[in-house]
A and B are shown apart, each in its own frame.
Chain A
Amino acid sequence: MNIRLAAESLHSCSGCEISLLNIGEALIPLLNRLQLVHLPLLMDHKYSDPAGSETEISIPKAEIGLVSGGVANTHQLQVLEAMRKSCTTLVALGTCGTHGGIPAMINEWPMADALQTVFSTVTTEPVDVPNQDTPPMLDRVYSLDEKTDVDIFLPGCPPDPTIIARVLEDFLDGLTPEPVTKSVCDTCPTRRTGKSERKLLRFTANARFDSNESTASMQCLLEQGFLCMGPVTAGGCGHQGEPACIRARVPCRGCYGPVRHQDNQMLGMLNGLVSQGIDFKTIIDRKSMLRFSGAHGRLRPLKEKKRAS
C-alpha cells in the first residue's frame, strides 16, 4: 500500500520539521515507506502553476498530513484549508498547532499594536506597516482546531523525534496512536521530599545538585522553590530517561502543553501551588504559565478584558 504524506508549516519556526529530520537513520526506511507529495522544507512541490492565478493553493491528495504552527494570517488559513481538503488524516504537529505555542503570546496585545511595535524599533526607518502583497494578519494567533477539524494532536515544542517516528510508524501499520496521559512529573526521576519552599524563586541562580550524580539524586525543582510546570504539562520529552529540561537541571516551562487537550496550564498550576501552601503572589508574570497554550482565547489583550469586566 502506498501511503502519501503532505506537510506544511504555518505560524511556526520549522523546529517541528527539524525534529522530524532528527529521527536519524530510522528516517530513511520511513521515507522509503512513505511517498512524500508536498513538504516545502525538503521538496519542491509548488502550490500552483507559476503563471496561474495567485490565490489558488493546490496540495496533492495524501493519506496523512502534518501541519506545524498555528494560524495568524489569511494566507496561513488558506493553506490550512487546502491541507484539510487534501488529507484524509490531519495531524497537528507541535504545540503551536495544538495550543498556539510561543507565537500565541502575542494574543496579550491587539495585533495592530504589535505590528506597530515591530515596525518602529530603534533601527527601523519610520514607515507604515507593509500592506501590499503581504497577507493581512488575523486578530490573534489561533490553534489549528480553532479553524478546522484535527484528527491527531501531537504536542511538543518540538515533539521529540521518537514520538513523531512512532506516530508515523503506527500510521503505516494501521494502528491508532495512543493519547498521552502522563504528566512531565510522571516521567521525572527527581527526589521528592514532601518539603517545599514557601516562596517561588526566579531562575537567577542554579538549582542545587551534585553534578557527578544522576538527576534521581537531585531534589525536585518545584520543591527547591523554582516554578516547574511539570505537574500540569503533558509528558513525552523524556526519552533519555528524564524530562529534557530536567536533564539540563532547569525547570520545565510547559512546552508540551496541558496534559489533557482542554486543560488550562495556568489554573492547574495555581491550584497546585495553593494546595502546597506556596504563595503564588510571589510569581512575576503569572500569564507566562500560558506561554505555550495561549490560543483558544486563553491569552487576551489586557484592555479587552478590562472592558469585559
Chain B
Amino acid sequence: MVQPDHTHAPRPVPSPYTGRQEIDLDQVREMLSHFTYSDHEEAQELILSALQEINEHFGWVSHEAAEIVADHLGTSATRVFAILTFYADFRTTPRGHHHMLLCHGMSCYVMGSSKLVQKVRDEYGIGDGDTTPDGQLSVQVANFCLGVCDRSPVVKLDDEYYGHVNADDLTDLVNRAIEGREAMHASEVNHG
C-alpha cells in the first residue's frame, strides 16, 4: 500500500474571532524579523507584504507600527502612510470586536446586497470602513467577489461565511455574535 507523501494533520476548524485590537510592538518587530532582503529594491518590494501581515494579524496598522516598518525596510514613515491610505485592505483605526465583510461583488449586488449595506447603515449607523461607537462592530463593503457566488448575497462575519442573507438575518447574525461567542461556534452555523 502506498503512503501519502505528506500526511495531513487535520486542519483546525477556524476559531471564533478574538477581536484583537492592541498592537504589540514587540510582536511587530518579531514579525518583521522574517522580512529579510538582499538589496534596497527588494526591501521596497517587502513594504506592502509587511503591512499586510500586520494588518491581517491585528486588524489594523497603527502609526507606531508603520514607523517600525519604515525603519526596518529603510524607508520613510510618509511613504508607508501613502501606501496605507491608498490600498483598500488597510485600516489605520482598530476594527470592531466583530468584523463584517459584506460582499458587494456583482453576483451579490444582483442578488440584493445593496439592501444589506442599507440595513447596516440604518441599524448600526455605519458604512464601509466604519466601526460602531461602542467598538462592537466594524464593516467592510467588499468591492470584489468573495468567491461563493452561488450563495449570494454573502456575508463573512468574523471567521464564518453566511449565504443567502436577507436584511433580517443580518441583524440576527450580528446580535448572536455580540451576545456570546458560544452561539457563534461553527457547529451551530447554518451555512446557508
The answer to whether A and B belong to the same complex is no
Please list the residues of chain A having a beta carbon within 8 angstroms of any beta carbon in chain B.
Answer: none
Residues of B within 8 A of A (CB): none
